[in-house]
Amino acid sequence: MKKNENLFSIGEVAKYQNISKQTLIFYDKVGLFRPAWVDPENGYRYYSASQLDYLDTILIMKQIGFSLQEIKDHMQHYDLDSSLAMYETALSGETVSEEAQALAQALGCRTGSNEDAAGCGLVFLGVKPQMMAGMLAPLQPLFAARAARGERFVLCTMAAGLTMDQIRRMAGGDYPVVRINPNIPSAYGEGMIPYCTLGVTPEEEAAFCQLMAGAGRADPIAENLIDAASCVSGCGPAWACQFIEALADGGVACGLPRAKAQQYAAQMVLGTAKMLLETGGHPGAMKDAVCSPGGTTIQGVRVLEERGFRGAAMDAVLAAYDKTCKLREG
């Protein structure tokens, strides 16, 4: 097999799955998950889009608690239907993990089954896209019964690539749906949460936004733009960290201790972002305000322009969007 543009590097797969490259290398060595192609010149591993579901199954089984040997035995006879059946059993709520119980206690809430969750006013569907149909199928009668009684409830999905119409079909009815794409800073209350809705009343949308307020800024956007939004706000934290790290490296090169250089760079980005959001000013105007005639900052701006800083940032967003489209197409 020859490399083509539809293959993903080991680094891309590791980032997409939030695992280390060493894990993928280990899975290859033990014969659990082999790359689609290995570059004979440098030994780099590459994977096809069709392999991502296979890897998801491995990671989910590992998270559920299956041993490596049990995973290997299952994957020798892998097919999507049997995997979905396994997910359904694992997600049925028959057992509750110690981790879930500990988290519930820390948050002041309770654990329960999927059936319990399906009786809520806002039902979060927190599973991977390929698990969604199998998870929702046994809940269809419960949703239908609630709808027959005239109960209102909203389904909230964060599964990448699944449209709200697809969620409705999987749930078995034209129920109200909110689709969200939160980013990592949401865990610290400073996230960006693009969202879109289908069949949701203004009151339900307002209640949803109030609920999400603790995670950061929730902003409505058309569904056909939510993938593009994710490539800015969802992928952006990685690039912002690269920028902060680079600034800190520069500070270290100038003699600053590493910890102080990183603190100064991170706080600078935080403060600049806050200033932009609160004033609504244009970033170009703020950049000009910092650049004194013949000063130090404009010399740094000149170097960044010479090195293609703007173009590289724009190309990063476009590359992420292109990859998102390929993943969506499977």
My answer on whether 261 and 287 are in the same domain is yes
Residues 292 and 216 in one domain: no
Burial of residue 122 (number of CB atoms within 10 Å: 0-12, 13-18, 19+): middle
With a CB cutoff of 8 Å and minimum separation 6, the contacts of 257 are none
How far is it, in rounded angstroms, from Cα 216 to Cα 40? 46
Whether 224 and 288 share a structural domain: no
Residue 157 in 3-state DSSP? strand
- The pLDDT of residue 105: 82
Q: Choose between 36 and 100: higher pLDDT.
A: 36
Q: What confidence score (pLDDT) does residue 54 get?
A: 84
Which segment of 22-26, 40-44, 83-87 scores lowest on mean pLDDT?
Answer: 83-87
Estimate the crossing angle of helix 68-75 against helix 51-64, to 10 degrees.
150
Rounded Cα–Cα distance for residues 16 and 194 (Å): 19
Radius of gyration of the chain (CA): 23
* End residue of a domain, out of 51, 78, 105: 78
Pairing of strands 191-198, 122-125: unpaired
For residue 300, what are the domain limits? 236-329
How much is the pLDDT for 71?
85
| Partners of 125 in the β-ladder | 157
Alpha carbon 199 to its chain centroid, in Å, reads: 24
Asked if residue 164 lies in contact with residue 215, where contact means CB atoms within 8 angstroms, the answer is no
Contact 200, 177 (CB under 8 A): yes
13 occurs within a structural domain: yes
159: how many CB neighbours lie within 10 A of its CB? 21
Q: Once rounded to an integer, what is the mean pLDDT over residues 230-248?
A: 95
Domain identity same for 223 and 249: no
Same domain, 211 and 298: no
Lowest mean pLDDT among 91-95, 106-110, 225-229, 307-311: 91-95
Half-sphere exposure of 145 (CA within 13 A, CB side): 8
**What pTM value is reported for the model?**
0.72
- pLDDT above 60: residue 91: no
**Could you tell me which residue, 326 or 2, shows the higher pLDDT?**
326
**Is residue 194 domain-resident?**
yes
Instruction: Please check whether residue 168 lies inside any domain of the structure.
Output: yes
CATH number of residue 70's parent domain = 1.10.1660.10
117-131, 142-156, 246-260: range with lowest mean pLDDT: 117-131
DSSP state of 158: -
In the predicted model, is pLDDT for residue 88 greater than 70? Answer: no
CATH number (domain holding residue 203) = 3.40.50.720
| Predicted confidence band of residue 68 (pLDDT cuts 50, 70, 90) | confident
pLDDT tens for residues 184-203?
999 899 999 999 999 999 99
**From CA 266, how far away is CA 279, in angstroms rounded?**
20
Q: At what angle do helices 80-90 and 129-136 cross, to 10 degrees?
A: 70
119 alpha carbon, distance to own chain's centre: 26
**Is residue 14 over pLDDT 90?**
no
pLDDT at residue 89, rounded to an integer:
57
Examine residue 206 and state whether it is found in any structural domain, yes or no.
Answer: yes
Number of domains within the chain: 3
Residue 188 within any structural domain of the chain: yes
Residues 241 and 209 in one domain: no
| pLDDT tops 50 at residue 2 | no
Tokens (6 digits) for 321: 């969007």
pLDDT band at 309 (very low <50, low <70, confident <90, very high): very high
How far apart are the C-alpha atoms of 102 and 119, rounded to whole Å?
23
Q: How many CB atoms lie within 10 A of CB 153?
A: 17
Residue 93 inside a domain? The answer is no
SS3 of 228-254: HHHHHHHCHHHHHHHHHHHHHHHHHHC
145 and 197 both lie in a single domain: yes
pLDDT (0 to 100) of residue 16: 78
26, 160, 175, 208, 236 from 123: Cα distances, Å: 37, 17, 11, 11, 28
What gap in Å lies between CA 247 and CA 45, rounded to an integer? Answer: 31
Shared-domain flag, residues 297 and 208: no
Look up the CATH number of the domain holding residue 325.
1.10.3730.10
Mean pLDDT across 304-322: 95
Residues present in the chain in total: 330
Report if residue 30 sits inside a domain: yes
> Residue 63 pLDDT more than 80?
no
Q: Which of 210, 229, 248 is the last residue of a domain?
A: 229
pLDDT in the model for residue 80:
60
In the structure, how many helices (H) and strands (E) does the chain have?
17, 8
- State mean pLDDT over 293-308: 97
pLDDT at site 1: 45
**pLDDT at residue number 107:** 78
Q: Tens digits of per-residue pLDDT, 107-144?
A: 788 888 888 889 999 999 988 887 888 889 999 999 99
Rounded to the nearest 5 degrees, what angle is found at the Cα of 156, between the Cα atoms of 203 and 140?
A: 110
Q: In this structure, is residue 242 part of a structural domain? A: yes
